[in-house]
Amino acid sequence: MAVCEILNTQAEKVGEVELNDSVFNVEVNTGILHEVVCMQRANRRSGNACTKTRGEVRGGGAKPWRQKGTGRARSGSRTSPVWRGGGTAFGPKPRDYSYSMPKKVKRLALKMALSARNQEGNLVVIDKFELPEVKTKNFVQVMDKFAFDNCLVITEGVDEQISLSSRNAVGYTVLPVEGLNVYDILKHSKLMLIQSSLAKIEERVQV
């Protein structure tokens, strides 16, 4: 098992921890990561774009002019797609873009994302993350100690103090272990894990 330093919020070493190789040191397959990220982004699409067809546009009850004898092209309704103000032909309608993948593949991709950050040296483990009060300035000061301007912080559970302090800071995201996902790991250049979350992460990806 690889040994990783445990730091405090002042970026000072306070201990060491062994990282499970089956979670933090697996071979990275970019193809699998790409597939899972595409699935996550598709699942997040709202899919609520909507246009009106010729049958949904208001009006169009009467035939604009008689069929023959006017010299103009025949027309049956003012809501025709070829008319200005008419309906849209083959326009978008609300739809569900989401799809699923095997659980084993999603768990493997999560291990790969964690391993990628570890192998790059962009994974940091801290002993605890405590702030004196809910304030963005306090959160940013901690990030400045590590020289992180883009970071994903993983907590053991929902930590409102950290979440509220970070929500106005651009480039940072705080998630509990339950919300850990491939897209957010790869979206942020740095990954910070609170020591108490390590056991839960291993438990989640090895179920």
Task: Tell me the per-residue pLDDT of 37-70, one tens digit each, with 9 for 90 and over.
Answer: 999 999 999 999 999 999 999 998 899 999 999 9
> What's the confidence (pLDDT) of residue 12?
87
Q: Which residue has the tokens 């020591």?
A: 195
> What's the confidence (pLDDT) of residue 158?
85
CATH fold of 2-45+99-205: Ribosomal Protein L4; Chain: A; (3.40.1370)
> What's the confidence (pLDDT) of residue 159?
81
DSSP class of 85: T
**Which H or E element spans position 186?**
helix 182-187
> What's the confidence (pLDDT) of residue 207?
61
CA nearest to 141, candidates 166, 158, 164 = 166
> What's the confidence (pLDDT) of residue 3?
83
38 half-sphere exposure, CB direction, 13 A CA radius = 7
41 exposed, middle or buried (CB, 10 Å; 0-12, 13-18, 19+)? Answer: exposed
CB atoms under 10 Å from CB of 96, counted, come to 10
> What's the confidence (pLDDT) of residue 182?
96
Burial 53-73 (b: 16+ CB within 10 A, else e): ebeebeebeeeeeeeeeeeee
Intervals of the chain under pLDDT 70: 1, 207
What are the start-end ranges of the H helices in 56-166?
103-120, 136-145, 160-166
> What's the confidence (pLDDT) of residue 176?
93
As a whole number of angstroms, the distance between CA 30 and CA 10 comes to 34
As a whole number of angstroms, the distance between CA 22 and CA 119 comes to 13
Domain with CATH 3.40.1370.10 in the chain: 2-45+99-205
